[in-house]
Structure 1
Amino acid sequence: MRRIPARTACLAATLLLTTLASGAPAPAGARELPDTYVVSHEPGVLPEGITVTPDGTVYVSSDGLGTLYRGRVGDPELEPFPARGLADRPSTLGVHTDRRGRILSVGGATLTVHDRHGRLLATRTAQDGPLGAPHLNDLTVTKDAVYVTDWANPVVHRAEIRGNAIGPLEPWLDIRSAFPQFPAQYWLLNGIVADGTGTALLVASNGTEAVWRISTTDKAVSRLDLGDQSFGADGMVLRDRTLYAVLNYGAPHGVYIARLDEELRTGTVTHRLTDHPFDLPTTLARHGCRLYVVNSQLDEPPGRPPYTVTALDDPTCGTAAAP
């Protein structure tokens, strides 16, 4: 690395102090980010899912219309994303991107894959489950598979990834064996995340008010032990050993953060962010040191425009809890 001459460094520091003292605006890259993002002003959108890519591109799904919206973390307004092939899907819930920059989303019985320009690359349809037609809810992408939860059936679906190709979406695990005495129709599988190796999944169940750990190698299922905390999560984000979850049932609405052990079997809830003006939050994304929380308005459909995403600081940022 080239060293800056001492005199030059001194002059630069003097100029910087002068600029700050004069109240001159900070560089464009240092400008503050919005606290609220408007997904749409169109009636009936009811945003549900969200993902933020490493470069700051935001994708939000619509439960009410089935469309996708796209924006940037530096811009408070999102716009419709021209994703082809969604006209016959009235509801889109989970949305994520993979390492290739493809946009994967689920709704109804279908998983769709689009490129950055909205071209439809693949559509995969889930089979009926033990209780009937699927209602795909959320998804997570590992290096070799896409795993999808089913709200209507106690089933996790899986599509294998080989190179650029995504295989058929097939029933992978009927989770009832983990808690056989619990009524099948009330599992209500919701958010799903995977660890960095793709060997462990965490699946939220609104009905059991718990998060379940699933091994992708042998399909062993166990309940994530969070002590006495009721944890019927909706959407979730897993960053190393820090679990971020949105709760909107059985607990005050908001973001709950837990620190987990190395095997993702036990943990402690360390933060409860429930003092923000959320409007039935459903899920969240993390980018930088900020959390982006969807305000769905699903408790009073079709809701009232504008439909928004709330951004807040990650309280664990810079600590050992969220490296």
Structure 2
Amino acid sequence: MRRVPARTACLAAAVLLTALAGAPGPAVARDLPDTYVVSRAPGVLPEGIAVTPDGTLYVSSDGTGALYRGHIGHPELRPFPARGLEQRPSSLGVHTDRRGRVFSVGGASLTVHDRHGRLLATRTAGGGPLGGSDLNDLVVTKDAVYVTDWANPVVYRAEIRGGTPGPLEPWLDIRAAFPRFPPQYWLLNGIVANEAGTTLLVASNGTEAVWRIDTADKDVTRLDLGEQSFGPDGMVLRGRTLYAVLNHGAPHGVYIARLDAELRTGMVTHRLTGEPFDLPTTLARHGCRLYVVNSQLDEPPGRPPYTVSAVDDPTCRTS
């Protein structure tokens, strides 16, 4: 979930993507908006998104560091009164947990807010082998928060005890999985976990791959998607279905892959590209709809209004 075009052009292999046409999605939620306005203020540049089970939307701002909140039933979001973000110029990944708490990252900080915006915790990454941290995305499991670093080939971890995250510490230097690759170009991005929290999938824009990590022994292998290079931005994992946003080296849009039971191999089954996306960065899923952030990061500060597009999930079966 990052400003991909400006910072990854330096080293990217050719992306070979098979044009796979998905079946049309079912007719669902026709009474819900197709477009959500995050903000009409200049320079917001939305980046991350989360949708809670009750349909509450949270969207982060790369341009200002603010968070926005709305509901899938209403087309306009409003600023979320999250305290303690005044000194964070950029917010990227945003996720919620089962308690409704809002976790977000930006710069070197991870913050946790309650649903009213009260700051519950701030955790700071101390930097990695290449210097200061630029935290990009996160995933919350039952016992930990895992965070990727755009500036360092490092995954951080904060253990959750009694519902509170502990210190944000370097957990895995991923360079050993591909030692010949220049460390400054790993560009770690989206991160997701299986339901048990035993397996992580981490996107790397630089290597144009998704990397599978066993949390027990930190074993790292490349997700095998056949002959396709696949370096996503944000991702969502639902069972064995991986939803990924691609915005560099491939037609911009949402790519959906069906994975094996161990999340080691898979095949892209659907590709949603073109309209209505405007440099999409990440997505969230609710019901049979996908909510995709239109960042406009390719031409900052973009042009208001800044939006989220909702499209049908083609993997949903018609009842």
Q: Is TM (by shorter chain) over 0.5?
A: yes
Partner of 1:306: 305
Q: Distance in 2 between matches of 1:229 and 1:250?
A: 12
What is residue 19 of structure 1 aligned with on the other side?
none
Aligned counterpart, 1:83: 82
Structure 2: gaps (5+ residues):
1-28
**Corresponding residue SS for 2:90:** coil
Q: Which residue of 2 aligns with 1:97?
A: 96
Structure of greater relative contact order (alpha carbons < 8 Å, 6+ residues apart): 2
Asked if residue 318 in structure 1 is aligned to residue 284 in structure 2, the reply is no
The alignment-based identity, stated in percent, is 83
| Structure 2 counterparts to residues 1-323 of structure 1, below 5 A | 32-318=31-317
Give a deviation string over 1:162-187, Cα, whole Å, max 9, x none: 12221000000000000000000000
Residues 197-254 of structure 1: CA deviation (Å, up to 9, x unaligned): 0000000000000000000000000000001112110000000000000000111000
Deviation for aligned residue 1:99: 1.3
Amino acid at match of 2:262: E
State the AA in 2 paired with 1:99: R
Larger Rg, first or second structure (1 or 2): 1
Give the helix-richer structure, 1 or 2: 1
CA contact (8 A) 1:230 1:250 kept: no
Cα deviation, 1:140-162, whole Å, max 9, x if unaligned, reads 00000000000000000000001
Work out whether residues 157 and 171 of structure 1, in 8 Å CA contact, stay in contact via their aligned partners in 2: yes
Runs of 4 or more consecutive aligned structure 1 residues displaced over 3 Å after TM superposition = none
Matching residue of 2:12: none
TM-score between both structures, scaled by the size of structure 1? 0.89
- After superposition, what is the alpha-carbon deviation per residue over 1:10-67, rounded to whole angstroms, capped at 9, x for unaligned? xxxxxxxxxxxxxxxxxxxx76100000000000000000000000000000000000
CA distance in 1, matches of 2:192, 2:37: 26
Amino acid at match of 1:98: D
The code of the aligned residue for 1:168 comes to: P
CA contact (8 A) 2:50 2:57 kept: yes
Task: Provide the rounded CA distance (Å) in 1 between the counterparts of 2:232 and 2:30.
Answer: 33
Aligned mates of 1:193, 1:250 — CA distance in 2: 22
Is the 1:282–1:293 contact (alpha carbons within 8 Å) kept by the matching residues of 2? Answer: yes
Give how far 1:276 is off: 2.2
Unmatched segments (≥5 aa) in structure 1: 1-29
Distance in 1 between residues matched to 2:204 and 2:251, nearest whole Å: 17
Q: Residue 156 of structure 2 aligns to which amino acid in structure 1?
A: H
Cα displacement (A) at 1:128: 1.2
